[in-house]
Structures are given as C-alpha cells and as structure tokens.
Structure 1
C-alpha cells in the first residue's frame, strides 16, 4: 500500500487512539500466522478439552433426565428396607395411579451339578413391571411368559455374564436360595438398571410369586422394596413435587426414600459431574501450560518486531499505543485458537454419541450447549490475557535505543508497569475464582488450583536456581559441557521455558500415576492381607450358631466374627430434619439413603475412642450411639447431641455417647453408627459374619468352604473378598485409563510448548552456531553440547516433577483417602525417561536444522 492510499481524505477524520491501534494491528496480521501455530494450538487444545468435557457431561445428564421415567421405572419411586408397605401406605400409593412393586437383594446362584456359584443381584418383579420403558430379551419373548411357572419350575432371565460365569445356557436350571429356577432367556435391555446404583454381581430376575419358594425373605433380611408409581393423567413437575410433600406429611415415619423422575439416577449424575469437573480442572491445567507457550510466542514475536516498535516510538507513539497494537493482535490470534477449540468441543458429544451408542445404557442428548461452550470461551480469553499482559506490558517502557541494541540489557528485563501487574493478577484471580465457584466440590478445586499455582511458582524458582547454580559452577575441562552449562544461564536462555513447559505436565502425570499405583497396592496387597476372606450376609438368628460351628469345623485356624446388622436412615440431627441440613459434599453420603447399623455391648476391637466413654455392658438407660469420628466432625455433632434414625418405619432417637476412629481399609466389620444393645430390643434383624484365615488359604480351600456353606445354608449370601477386590481393581483400572487419557492433554500441551520454546530460541541459536562453526567448532561437538544442555534441563525437570507429583499424590492418598503412601520407583524412572526423551529429542531436532544454516547470510546481518 502506498503513502497516498493511507493518507486521510479531505474532510475525513484521521483515526486516533484505539481505532488507530486496531488499524495497525490488522495490517501487521496480513503477514500470516507464521510463528503463532504453537500459540493457537495451545489455546485450542485447552479450550477444546474444557468445552468438550462440559458439553459431554451435559449431554449425559440431559440424557438421564430425558429418560428419567424409564430409568426410575415410574414418575415416583418409594423405597423401603426390610419391610413392605402397610395397609394405609399401600392404599395411599394405589390412589396415585398405577403401581409396580419390585424387590431387590443380593443372593447366591448355585449350579448343584458342578458346585459353581456366584453372587448375584436378585430382582423380583410383579406383572405390572415395567411401567415405563421396554424390557427386552434376546429371545424376543415377553417377560411375564419367561418368568412364569412351567412344569413346577419358576422361570428366570439373567445377564449374559452370569451364564458365562456359571457355564449356563437358556433352558438350564440354577439354585437360588431353597428353590430351583429355569433360565428362560437372556436380558438384552433392562430399562431401570441405572436406578439401582452400583452392582456387585450379575442380574437375575424372577417373578415376585417365586419369592416364597426361595426362602430368602425373612424378618430382618436385607431386602429393598421399591414401589414405582405412574401418576394419573399427564403429571407435571409441580404435581410430582406436591405428591412428595403429601407423602412426607402423611407418613412422616414411613422411612422410605422418595425419588422422582427428575433425579432418577442421582448417584450416577453426581459421579458424572464430579468426573467432568475433575477433567475440567485438567483442561484448565492444559490451558495454563499452554499459557507458557503463549508467553513464549509473544516474547519471540516482540523480539522480531524490535525495529517496528522502535520506529513507532521514534515517530511519537506512546508505550500505551504499542501495547494496544500488540494486545489486539494477541487477542485476534487467541480468538482463532478459541474458535477452533469451541468447534472441537461442540463436536465431542456428537462423536461420543456415535462411538458409544451401543455401549452406554442411555442415549446421549447430543446437542450444542451454549453455556458450556461459553465457559470454554471464558477460560480461553482469561488464559490468553493472563499470559499476554506481562510480556506485552514489559514492552511499554523499553526505550527505542534498547530495542535497537537487543533485549539483553538489564532494563529490558525489568518488571512491567504496575497497571500491567495488577491487570495480570486480576485476570489470574478471576480464572481461579471461576474454576472454584463452578466446582461441585469446592474444597478439592481449591486444593487443585492452589497446588497448580504453587507448582507454577516453584517451577519459576527452580529455573532461576538452575541458572544461578550453572553460572556459579567452576569451569570444567570438557568444551562441550562448558558450552552446555553456559547455554543454561546465559541471557535469553531456554531454561525457564523448558522447565515450565514440561514441569506442570509431568508433575500432573506423576501424581496421577502414583495415586493409581498406591490405590492398586492398597487393594492387592495391604487390604488383601488385612481383610477377611469371606463376608456372610443375611444370617438369621436361628442359623447363627450353626453356621459358626460349621466354619469352625472346616477351618481350624480362622478368625470368625459375628455382629447383628440392621439398616436405618438418619432422619434428624439435633432435632433438625436432615432434609434441612447442608453438609460438605464429602459427608453427604451419610445422610443419603440407608446405612448399615449395629449394636454392641462392648467397644469393637478395631476402633479407638476419640471422645466420650463406652457404655457399660449391662446398660439399660436411654438409647446411646457411638459415631465414627470423621462423620461426627463433618456433620457438626459432638458427645451429648441427639440423632434420630428410622428403622422398620420406627423412629428412634439416641444420644451420642462417644466418637471413635475406625480403620476402614482393613475391610473388617465396621459401622458408622454403633448403638447400645437396648436400643433395638426385640427388633427382627439378621447377622453379619466374617471369616479370615490366620494364614493364606488356597483358592481351592476357599471355594470348597463356599460350596459347603451354600449347600448347608442356601439363604445365606457369601461374598468372597478376593472377588470383590478384583472387581474394584478392574473399576480402578478403567477409571485410571480414562484419567490418564484425559490428562495426556496436559502432556500434549507441554510438548507443544516445549517445541514452541525451542522454536522461539531458534534465531539466537543460529547466531551461536554460525559463530562457533566459524571459530572451528565441529557439528559433532555442537550436537553434543546441545544434547548435554537439554539432558541437564530434562533431568532437573523430572526430579522436580517427581518431588511435586509425589507430594500431591501423598496428600491425596493420606489426607483425602486416608490411606498409606509409598513412592513407586517405576513411576520415577518413567517420568525421568519421558523428560529426557522429550527435551533431548525435540532439542536435537531443532539443533540439526540450526546447524544446517549457511554462515554467509547470517554473518552479513550481524
């Protein structure tokens, strides 16, 4: 463009201020995006992670809400433990509309001819089931026909996993309790499966009419009765809420748990939200790591614009004008990255719906969610500003002479003006505040943000320490090593960029790997060694002595412990209904649903009193309760306070006599609440029994004992702890892979930033290489020098990542999960190797290109 075309026309007003800065900024951007691809990729990656994760979470929760009636099995569900509804309750429920009654419990399925058996989730349904949704069988028949009685045998339908576990096929028979049932078909789709929560065994479904034959339901048996209601007419959400209010007012002591179609699978929804918000924090970490790349790109860009900036200032431009020009350019470039990230984030729910359509039990509500995309946009803009303001602000006060001479003077390294420091601080604070305020568990988010900020600050300090130590090291004889050390601490060194870019990503991955490894160690080693071998559930009082005698006969060296067990729900604390009490998210499970409770005359062996005193063995006064110490703290309770539990539809108020510390990880018999024996005098209940060998028993010994107990006591449910640990271990493994996959985004961002940092130093490295080659340095020596430099930086960063990641993992394992922590050497070696490979590999790739530059063109421009 010539001067005449840019001259203002007569009568027109020349642009000034921000409009002029905008014009200059856009003109400079005509040169293309060269040098900013890393900048754009870093922003796009973090925004895509945040927008995609939150959109996918929304699609999942919307899918659950859309299918709420099918998932719940009705518009409303009333669940009671131990008992069925009485006449008045049943009459009221039937007045609401259509009713379906379902019973669920855990039991044992046995194949007598082979002795094989499996823990199952037994579900007994009536003829009205299901009120909503479709129950599909692989054979295509009707459910009621499959469950009907034929030739003296009741029918059953089962998960394919049960058939595989016991070697069954349709038409075979299996024993459940005291009855034999015929496997009529295989379950293809169970509409209300998600509403049941976590399952420890495969599903077996029978008719309610078959229940008496099994003998599984006795007074005190751990069976849950569900009453699903399809309300009359087209009930609105207000109608549903009114019915819930009426139920609470008409039957305050019913002890039932009421759920509506709006919260059909609350546990699943909570877990989706938790996982999504964790991944959002991981995405934010990726953005922060990418922010380092943003700062590197801006510094490198400003270095190439020294002559332009000098010209601006010589022609009268102010520092503020220069700042405006390049801030506009940075925002435009960030906008490109954010737009790419938002497009990718918007696509993720649709891609997940297509890829997981046959895997997920619900249909994803794939759509474009503006709120979630807006959150990604906000995070992207704030991150770009947080890392752009500082380097742009530093250019404000640099005089033209310093710019022409190069960015090597002390003044060029001074802090930016106070306004830019304050703006940076406000932006960073806003970024952290949004992440914490939007988190499901704010305490965890606060810890995560605090740890990330601390790691970032420490990495800056580590980089400075490395440079200071390298500067003060004595002169070494090796020319290559001497050159590598000089490169680490010289002005414009890559040390801060390399340490920052790799440090955060590696620290996060080390922490996650150590948490995963320690959880597995707890499950497979510590817990497995300390835990009993078997749990025996639903032992009737008249069976307890007989089963204990059988266990003693079959296992001479085993520890056997038995306690009474009931289920109860906390309904009030200190006289305040639990529905009106807000507790920390980590303690909400105590008030949610029913809890196992027991009574003891003497203090349990595996507990330690932290306050109060245990009651006398012959105590007969007002009901007392011992509360687990952490639960008492979370609920704001202390010795002398009163709590009320609902058991068998009866509300019982007890005074807290003491609090105690419990060792949960031993998996021995432990309860949050232990009552004085007189509290439940005369109440029907079952017993829970554990058996643990003093020495390790073989699998054959355990399975033999399991068969003998099941044959002698068919209504008793036996849980083999090794099987339970294996299931949990598989779950932890799947979760760990998902977390690692998501967290790899941070490592990808680290690699991008590392590549960008090396590219940013390309210009100065060319000068170095040309001068050294002119003075006689060989390519082999230069490559060795650069390799040593990158190796030192990579190894130092790996050591920091091990320390910071180890501390983070230790905090999570010991303070949040109350477990024990050990440093795992394999993780340490893997992190060190990853850092070395990345730094040396990327460094040498860039170095090889540098060493190929011809000296003449470079020397002419010096």
Structure 2
C-alpha cells in the first residue's frame, strides 16, 4: 500500500463521519485494485452460487417454455375454441341446437373397451375414440401411412376401418391390415397413429388409442344405457367471438345440464397443474442447493478474510474504520457473486434449447425455446440474496477485531464482537429469501413447510454438531496419539465439525429419505398391493346382464370371489349450497371436486369401510336423498353431518344431505367410492355395474407363469362371452403405476443429486477454509517431533469420525422423515432398507476422508520456517 493510499484512507475516514459516499467510493476503488491480484479460494464460492442459480433458472425457464407451448397450442390441444363435455348421456335437442349455432362443431365419443383377436385367443385394453368427419378442427392427425382419415375409416368388405397407436399393435402381436374384434363387430386396423393433436386434453389414459368413425362405434354395440361413455362437442368459433363469454352464457342457459366447459385457456388443466407442482418442487430443491451452498459461501468468505488478515491489519493501522474494511470486501464478494449468478443464468438460458426436443418426444406439445426473463430474474434474486445473507456474518465478525490481534493471530481463530446491525441485516435478508420463495410458489403451504423444514434442519444439525463436540470434549484420554489428536481436533476452537455436519447432513438426509420412500413405494406397489388387490376389474356390465355375468364368472373361475356394485358418474356442483365453480378449491381433497366421480348406492355399509360419524339409513329407506361421504376427504373440504351437496347425474341435479362419514381402505384397491347414496336416490336411473374378481390363487406371485396363464384363460372366456364389458387386469395397471413411479423417482433423484453436489462443494470449501489453521497445527506438531504418518493417521481418524457421525445422523433423520411421509401422508406400510443405510454411511466416509486427506496432503507439505517466522 502506497503513501498516497494511506492518505486517501485518512482523509476519507474523516469525511465518512459526515457522509457515507466517500467511504463507498474509496472502498470500491480498493476492492477493484485488490482483485487485480487474483481471488484464489473462491472456486467453491462460485460453484455454490452457480449451481443453485443455474438449477432455479433452468427449472423455471423449462417450465415457462412448457406453459407457453400449452398456451400457444391451446386450441389444438383442446380440439377447438370451446369444448362441451358430458358423461353417460347425449345432448337434448335444445342443447344440440344451441351448440350448433355457435360455429363449426366436431362431435366425438370416448370409452374404454377390449380389442380382441378375431379368434378370441387374446385381447388388450384400448382407449376407444370415435370421431366424425369434421375432426380435427385444429391441428392434424398424423398417421402411417399418411392417408386421409375418411379413407382409413371407410367400410370395406364388411369391416370398418380403424387406426391405433403402435402400442396396441405390439400388445396384440399384429400388423396393419389385421382384422380384430371390437364389441360385436370386426374392424380392420388400417394405420398407425403417430400424432394425435388433442390427446393431452383427454386426461389420463390406461391403454393405447384406437380411433374409428362414429358409425363404427354405433355398430359395435358398446354404447348401452348406463355405459361409461364420455361425449365431447368441440366448437370452432367464428372470428370475433369470445370463448369465455360464451362459456358463461352456456352455463347460465343450461344450469342443470352438467356440462364440463373448457376454453383454449384451460386446454390441459391436469398437465398444467403437474408442470406447476413439479417446477415448484424442483425450484425448492434448487433453493435447497443454494441455501446449502450458502454455507459454502460463508466458509469461502471466512477463509478468504483469514488470508487477508495482514492486509486488513494494515488498513486498520493506517486509520481505516471497520466500516471501510467491510465495504471493501463486501464489494469484492458481491462482484464474485455476480459472476456466479451470470454463469448460472447462462445455464438457465441454455436449458430450454437443450431440453426442447426431448420434451417434444415426451409431451406432444411444440416446445419453442426462448428467453424467459422472469425465470432468470427470480434465480438472480435468489443468488444475490443468498450470497449477501451468508457473507454478512463473517464480514461483521472481522469489523471490530483490533489490528494487533490480526497481526498476532497466526492460527486465524480470533473473532471480533458481532454487532446487532449485521445480525439484523442477515435476518432481514433471510426473511426476503423466504418471502420470495413463498411469493413465487403455487402452493404456499408447501413452500412454508419447506422453509420451516430447512430452518429446523439447520438448527438440528447445529445441535448435532454441538453434541458431537461435547462428546469429544468429555471423551476419556486414550493412549493412541493419532486418536487423541483426532478427538482434540473435533472439539477445539475453529473445529471443522459444524461445517462438515451441516454440509453433508442436509444432502445425505435428503437422499436417505427419498431412497427409502422410493423403496417402500416400489415394494408396496410391486408386492404389497399385488398380494391384496383383486385380479381384475370389470366395467360396463349391463344391468340386465349382471346375473348372467355372475354365472359366467363362476363357471370360468370356480371358487373365485366376485364383488359387484352399481355405478354411475356424476359431478359435484354445489357444496352447502355454494357453487363449486366459485369456490376456492383446497389443495387437499380438491380432487373430489374436479371432473366427474364414480358414485353408487347401497342399502348397507359397503365392505372395506366403517362409519366414523352419523348413522346409516334403513334398508327400505324412502325419504329425502341421503349420501355417505368419505371421512378424510369430507374433513379436508370442511363438511359435516347434515350439510348438503348437489351432484349432476345424467343431466339431473340431485341434492342430498350428508347422513354419515366413512373411513375407506383405499390401499387394498377394492371397490370404493367417495359418495354412496341411499338407493331411492337413483330409482329407475339407467346404470351399469362395476365388479372385481379375485381368483383362488390371487394371493400367489403375479409373475408366476401358471397364474399368468390362468388369468389369461379367465379374461378370454369373460371377454368373448361379454364383448361390451371392459376388463382391466390389475397387474397391468400396477405395472403402469410402477413405470410412473420409476420416472418420478428418477427425476427426484436427479434433483436430490443437485443438493448432494452442493453439499459436497460445501464440504470441500469447509475443509479448505480450515487449511490455514491446519498448516499452523501441522508445523508446530512436526517441530515437536510428530511424523508425517502420525499426522495423516490423526487427520484421517478425525475425518472418519466426523463422516461416521454425520452418516449415522443422516440415516436416523432420513428414516424418521421417510416414516412420517410413508406412514402418515401416504398411509402405506413403512419398511426400512438397510442397504440405503450402509450405502449412506459408506458415501459419507468416502467423501469426508477423501476430501479431507486431499487437502491435508498439501498442508503436510508446507515448509516449517516461513510459518514459524510468523508466530
């Protein structure tokens, strides 16, 4: 530092008592000048900021790209500007005339049915969709061969034409041109569907698509009174017509029709909700990585300031105030943070372009990558706030240390008095991070739980570190020199224990929790549910065929258990007299109010359920309509016995009083309904039956070849005898669920890996931050006669003890967290996987010992003379 610099300091400090401006200006000049000499040691700092900001920016940019794609392609996804939907009934003449008057209309019908080989030897479940000549109003159906739909659907040689997804061909083992049976008719598979423009708006599907003409569906005999058929009327409006206005008009004109009305703004609500939820989850994981990385920021800042002690002491000796010193290094740190933020934002900008083509192969929406400033701004704010939050306390601790203490402190353990100003500012920045997380969250409750859990984790991990240090402090004296040194290092002033436990603890706990949840889900779906669930579900059994169906099942599967109940479809339109369309639907239990629900009636309490409140109606009850509601969902919706609800069934609005609540065993996959009505409610209404079938060997391993063969024989006999009945094999459904769980688990593991990488970076930074003190200790010990082997054994033992303690805590905390999620939230059996525990302990030991010894090797190579001269 030159004499001119010293003069600047003295004059500026005198002026700073009157104004902050000169101090800031001088601090900025010194910050820039000192950065010319390099900023070694900030690689971890930059990595932590970049990783967190990049994760948040990338996730939100990709989510924005997908949402923009849905909005841009809304009319194509919906199939029109306005879409009317009814279940189990056609339009009345007045309704049809009104819809026809709005514009060009395309009518379609969809249901699930069995597609059988012509010889009846095999069959597969398919999502059947019958369309008219106007379909599609927007977009196009892409097929192989590329021929007009009218040609592919035309009747030839007494067979209607149909096209199907490649998966249906694979399941049946046939090629285009094959003749198969659908209901009572034979159809020819004339082509393969490669792209269906409006498939996203049709919701969740259980089987591959089979598309044919309305005439073919009418001839098949699948549509009977009470059949579970969904009708759609898609309207292309003339220019200038407003879809939202017409939606309101239709609801006012036909208040009891039971229409489910959607516009292009709400083309794929389920998909959009999933995008929002998943992006929120991944954003919170990215924020976790950023917060964990914040510990690395604090470690890097502390290590950097420790290395700058001679410079800081010189500043203060020449008259610089603590405030000037703080501003000099705050400017440097925030400049470095800006570099990390920019690198992270670059990753966020690139992410949509990298993932666009992949997403198009998964979700049939044209993904046009672009620049999303909103997503980048949120990520940048998180980055700067996190850097400032975790840098303030180390900076504040340096402000009031006397210059003489800085010159004398060779080990770098001296700390100044921390002013309340810095504590208060840190608190305000923490609140700002929390407020931003809650503000941008779709589900505020989830964000608040996350923030509370993160805060609790920091406190608990700090307590765990304090406990480990206390145990080490009270440990009995041992004869082994390396072990005695290791135990001393764990609890000495400036020990690495808090940083190691905090950095590794969060990441490993998250991994253990997710791994056990994934294990229990797979175990329950793969073996637990399969052992308790029935073998088959049968849908659309006609009312006049139920007795004959029972007889056929007994002949095909003697000794089996058949459980059959009547089923209709209806949608809740009012709760306690309030229109659900105007209600704020709660996150929990809200699924009951979205779309149509299966409903039934029964004179007695259904199996697999028990009353929790109220009383059941008499068997010959004939009074006002009564309903039994699921207890858990009713509580989530704020319902109580005596409240009223209105359901729309077959175009009729029926208001019933809640007579009781039932606890339902959803987990056994038996027949269960949210709403069970008194039998007089639907007297005379057309309906079909739903049934489950459990074979005598149904408890056996479902992968057993004999069971597979037996199930195939039964379903072939039932399907051929009742071609209009849809059969769902439970094993196939569970396999589909397992596939979804696998995809979800993969995504969650990738997200958790981001948090673990942040933890590893913080661990590396924590170990690097302690190198200065380690150099001092190593040189003194070597001077007193310690060998390199002794020091390596001491440090390795210390790292091993810390890794072991952290791993044990992560296993215990992860086990408790997974038990809470699996047992209380998912209500599934919780089983601990010891493989996860042992793997976690091994990873913890490898990371701590590996990184620790990598840094220690450089420490042990330091020459003694330069260090001793500064003592």
Q: Give the TM-score normalised by the residue count of structure 1.
A: 0.97
Distance 1:2 1:305 in 2: 17
3-state DSSP class of the match of 2:806?
Answer: helix
Q: Which residue of 1 aligns with 2:716?
A: 707
Is 2:6–2:318's contact at 8 Å kept on the other side of the alignment? no
> Retained in 1: the 8 A contact 2:610–2:662?
yes
| Aligned-partner Cα distance in 2 for 1:444–1:666 | 28
Is the 2:226–2:688 contact (alpha carbons within 8 Å) kept by the matching residues of 1? yes
Corresponding residue of 1:762: 771
Say which of 798, 801, 809 aligns to 1:792: 801
Cα displacement (A) at 1:423: 1.4
Aligned to 1:168: 174
Structure 2 CA distance, aligned partners of 1:434 and 1:4? 45
Alpha-carbon shift at residue 496 of structure 1 (Å): 1.2
Matches within 5 A, 1:463-474: 463-474=465-476
1:139 maps to 2:153: no
Report the secondary structure of 1:16's partner residue: helix
Q: Contact 2:574/2:645 (CA < 8 Å) preserved in 1?
A: yes
Q: Give the secondary-structure state (helix, strand or coil) at the position aligned to 2:588.
A: helix
Post-superposition offset of 1:433: 2.4
Pick from 740, 743, 748: which aligns with 2:749? 740
In the other structure, the counterpart of 2:329 is 326
Tell me if structure 2 keeps the 8 A contact 1:583–1:634.
no
Q: d(CA) in 2 for partners of 1:475 and 1:357?
A: 65
Query: Could you say which residue in structure 1 is the equivalent of 2:534?
Result: 532
Distance in 1 between residues matched to 2:582 and 2:363, nearest whole Å: 35
Q: Does 1:720 align with 2:729?
A: yes
Q: Deviation string for 1:523-565 (max 9, x for gaps)? A: 1122112111110000001111111122223333322211100
Q: What's the CA shift for 1:285? A: 0.3
- Whether 1:385 and 2:391 are equivalent positions in the alignment is no
Paired position in structure 2 for 1:364:
367
Q: Which residue of 352, 355, 362 maps to 2:355?
A: 352
1:455–1:804: 8 Å Cα contact kept in structure 2? no
Seen in structure 2, the aligned counterparts of structure 1 residues 463 and 8 have a Cα distance that, compared at 3 Å, is closer
- Equivalent residue number for residue 407 of structure 2: 404
Structure 2 match to 1:828: 837
Is residue 179 of structure 1 aligned with residue 172 of structure 2?
no
- Measured against aligned partners, the alpha-carbon deviations of 1:460-480 in whole angstroms (never above 9, x if no partner) come to 111111111111101112222
Indicate yes or no: 2:28 matched with 1:26.
Answer: no
Q: Counterpart of 2:861?
A: 852
Q: Deviations over 1:691-742 (max 9, x none)?
A: 1135435111111111110011111001111110011001100110011112
For the 8 Å contact 1:155–1:183, the answer to whether it is kept is yes
SS for the counterpart of 1:395 is: helix
Residue 571 of structure 2, aligned match among 546, 569, 572 = 569
1:110-131 Cα deviation digits (max 9, x unpaired): 1143712111111111111000
Determine if contact 1:117/1:166 at 8 Å carries over to the other structure.
yes
Hey, what's the Cα distance between the residues in 2 that align with 1:676 and 1:589? 23
Are 1:804 and 2:810 counterparts?
no
Q: Judging changes above 3 Å, is the alpha-carbon distance between structure 1 residues 357 and 681 closer, same or farther for their aligned structure 2 residues?
A: closer
Residue 307 of structure 2: aligned partner: 304
SS of the residue corresponding to residue 177 of structure 2 reads coil
Deviates more, 1:623-632 or 1:430-439: 430-439
Residue 692 of structure 1 aligns with which residue?
Answer: 694
The CA deviation at 1:234 is 4.5
Match of 1:782 among 779, 788, 791: 791
How much does 1:283 deviate? 0.2
- Whole-Å Cα distance in 1 between the matches of residues 33 and 809 of structure 2? 44
**Is the contact made by 2:411 and 2:776 (CA closer than 8 Å) also made in structure 1?**
no
SS at match of 1:585: coil
Written as runs of structure 1 = structure 2, the 5 A alignment for 1:93-104 is: 93-104=99-110
- The question of 1:107 aligning with 2:109 is answered no
Structure 2 Cα separation of the partners of residues 414 and 571 of structure 1: 65
- Once the 2 structures are TM-superposed, how far is the Cα of residue 8 of structure 1 from its aligned partner? 7.1
SS of structure 1 residue aligned to 2:610:
strand
Contact 1:451 1:808 in 2 (8 A): no
Question: 5+ unaligned residues in a row in structure 1: which ranges?
Answer: none
Aligned to 1:315: 318
Aligned to 1:730: 739
Q: Deviations over 1:68-110 (max 9, x none)?
A: 1111110111110001111111111111110000111111111
- Aligned pair in 2 of structure 1 residues 8, 427: CA closer, same or farther (>3 Å)? closer
Contact 2:411 2:772 in 1 (8 A): no
The whole-number CA distance in structure 2 between the counterparts of 1:317 and 1:221 is 85
SS in 2 for 1:586: coil
CA distance, structure 2, for counterparts of residue 584 and residue 784 of structure 1: 58
* Pairing partner for 1:556 from 555, 558, 565: 558
8 Å contact from structure 1 (residues 402, 409) kept in 2: no
- Do 1:289 and 1:501's aligned partners in 2 also have CA atoms closer than 8 Å? yes
| Conserved? CA contact 1:155–1:181, under 8 Å | yes
State the partner residue of 1:455: 457
Partner of 2:128 in structure 1?
Answer: 122
Report how far residue 820 of structure 1 moved. Answer: 2.7
Decide which moves more: 239-248 or 298-307: 298-307
Moved more, 712-721 or 823-832: 823-832
Of residues 316-325 and 837-846 in structure 1, the stretch that sits farther from structure 2 once superposed is: 316-325
Q: CA deviation at 1:414?
A: 6.6
Contact 2:118 2:179 in 1 (8 A): no
Structure 1 residues 743, 173: closer, same or farther in 2, change over 3 A?
same
Map Cα deviations across residues 598-644 of structure 1 (whole Å, 9 max, x no partner).
00100112112111111111110000001111211122211111100
2:49 counterpart residue number:
43
8 Å contact kept, 2:401–2:415: no
Tell me how far apart the structure 2 counterparts of residues 408 and 460 of structure 1 sit (CA, whole Å). Answer: 23
CA shift digits 1:620-673 (9 cap, x unpaired): 000000111121112221111110000000000000001111111111111111
CA distance in 2 between partners of 1:177 and 1:369 (Å) = 50
The partner residue of 1:375 within 378, 382, 389 is 378
* Contact persistence 1:320–1:396 (CA under 8 A): yes
1:535 aligned counterpart, secondary structure: strand
What are the superposed Cα offsets for residues 143-187 of structure 1, whole Å, 9 maximum, x if unpaired? Answer: 111011111000110110111111110100111111111010001
* CA shift for structure 1 position 51: 0.9
Residue 682 of structure 2 is matched in structure 1 by 680
CA distance in 1, matches of 2:531, 2:675: 26
**Structure 2 partner of 1:658:** 660
Whether the 8 Å contact between 1:122 and 1:205 is mirrored in structure 2 is yes
- After TM superposition, the score normalised by the length of structure 2 is 0.96
Which residue of 2 is the match for residue 837 of structure 1? 846
Q: Quick one: which of 286, 291, 309 aligns to 2:289?
A: 286
Contact 2:398 2:416 in 1 (8 A): no
For the residues of structure 1 that align with 2:175 and 2:273, how far apart are their CA atoms? 37
**What per-residue deviation string (whole Å, max 9, x for no partner) do you get for residues 789-834 of structure 1?**
1111111111111122222222222333232322211111111111
Pick from 471, 476, 479 the counterpart of residue 477 of structure 1. Answer: 479
Secondary structure of the residue aligned to 1:615 is coil
The one of 410, 417, 420 aligned to 1:418: 420
2:615 alignment partner in structure 1: 613
Q: Distance in 2 between matches of 1:552 and 1:355?
A: 49
1:213 positional shift:
2.0
Number of aligned residue pairs: give it. Answer: 857
Task: Kindly indicate whether residue 276 of structure 2 is the aligned counterpart of residue 273 of structure 1.
Answer: yes
